[in-house]
Homo-oligomer: A and B are copies of this chain.
Amino acid sequence: MNFTLNVLGTASALPMTERYPSAQVLDVRGRLFMIDCGEGAQMRLRAAGISFLKIEHICLSHIHGDHVFGLFGLLSTMGLLGRTSPLNIYAPESFGPILDFFRSHFGEGLLFEINFVKLTMSEPSLLYENRSVELLAFPLNHRVDTFGFIIREKMPSRNVYKSAIARHGLTLAEIGALKRGEDVVRHKDGCQEVIRNDEASYVPYVPRSYAYCSDTAPFPELPDWVRGVTLLYHEATFPEEMSAMAEKTFHSTTLQAARTALDAGAGRLLVGHYSSRFPSVDFFLDELRSVFPDSYLAYDGLRMEIPLVKHDGEEPVR
């Protein structure tokens, strides 16, 4: 039941020796979602010990080189490794000719299907779901068409307190109804007894969620769109003193990222996509935490696990 973010690159346009361009992999219970694929992503994947073949989805935020130049190498390597399972790529429309180019010049011998899903939404929209996880995309505010992503666990079915089963003598059918979120209504001797769902059952764990917001300038809808996310990754290309540059280039400063996290009620903020002007970004952290204390600096190779918060199954005393 892991939910782990692997940060492969934290550079912005100009990579550095220890800071590769944007790329991440979120591991949700063994299913791998890659987000952005900057140059060198496949080498960073190897360094992190992540299996290329387990990547089922690649989400590309936008078609700037520092977010996509690792894709050709990764796709080629997947082919050489004998991949046959299909790969979903979610990207803005302008990715179409890039994929066509790759297929015609470097796609020889590729045995797996690439399903390209065009991103055109104007508000958060579902891209993919399975029994336990959903992937959504939403527009960001950058110089070209750019999208953010949310990957979240679905609300689990409810558990019934063992103590309630014993106390009420619940039948299997009644337990099933409670798990589905329904109340139990009993009729006996002309009387009606209601066992309320929220008193007899509980959510067994808190569904975890991750949102990726890069590259973007702040905009009014963003906090609402990522509201309550467990972990928010937001670009902080610049420190606060460079807010004019951030505005000009449609990027964010530390304080803007922190304010979005605060307004959204995020559980934790992680920033990256640092300008190469700052070989050390330690001072970014002070700025972030002055607004949003639970802020962290991403670095290449960071592995951040979101623990599962489980309900202990004990019925509260009422």
A73 to chain B: which residues have CB within 8 Å?
15, 21, 39, 65-66, 69
A94 to chain B: which residues have CB within 8 Å?
105
A304 to chain B: which residues have CB within 8 Å?
none
> Which chain B residue shows the least CB distance to A41?
B39
Which residue of B15, B21, B72, B98 is within 8 Å of A69 (Cβ)?
B72
How many Å from the CB of A7 to the closest CB on chain B? 16
How many Å from the CB of A24 to the closest CB on chain B? 17
How many Å from the CB of A311 to the closest CB on chain B? 41
A126 an interface residue at 8 Å Cβ cutoff? no
A14 an interface residue at 8 Å Cβ cutoff? yes
A70 touches B13 (CB 8 A): no
Segment at the interface with B among A42-50, A161-169, A288-296: A42-50
A121 an interface residue at 8 Å Cβ cutoff? no
A128 an interface residue at 8 Å Cβ cutoff? no
A80 an interface residue at 8 Å Cβ cutoff? yes
Q: Complex formed: what's the CA distance from A76 to B76 in Å?
A: 21
Q: Complex formed: what's the CA distance from A39 to B20 in Å?
A: 12
Within 8 A of B (CB), among A32-67: 39-40, 42-43, 46-47, 63, 65-66
Q: Count the copies.
A: 2
B72 touches A65 (CB 8 A): yes
A112 an interface residue at 8 Å Cβ cutoff? no
Which residue of B39, B47, B63, B72 is within 8 Å of A42 (Cβ)?
B39
B14 touches A80 (CB 8 A): yes
A39 touches B106 (CB 8 A): no
A278 an interface residue at 8 Å Cβ cutoff? no
Which residue of B39, B46, B63, B98 is within 8 Å of A70 (Cβ)?
B39
Report, nearest first, the 10 A-B pairs whose CB atoms are least far apart.
Answer: A39-B73, A40-B40, A17-B47, A65-B76, A69-B73, A17-B46, A101-B101, A69-B72, A65-B106, A15-B43
Between A and B, 29 residue pairs with Cβ closer than 8 Å are A13-B77, A13-B80, A14-B77, A14-B80, A14-B81, A15-B42, A15-B43, A15-B46, A16-B46, A17-B43, A17-B46, A17-B47, A20-B43, A21-B73, A39-B39, A39-B43, A39-B69, A39-B70, A39-B73, A40-B40, A40-B43, A65-B72, A65-B106, A66-B73, A66-B76, A69-B69, A69-B73, A94-B105, A97-B105
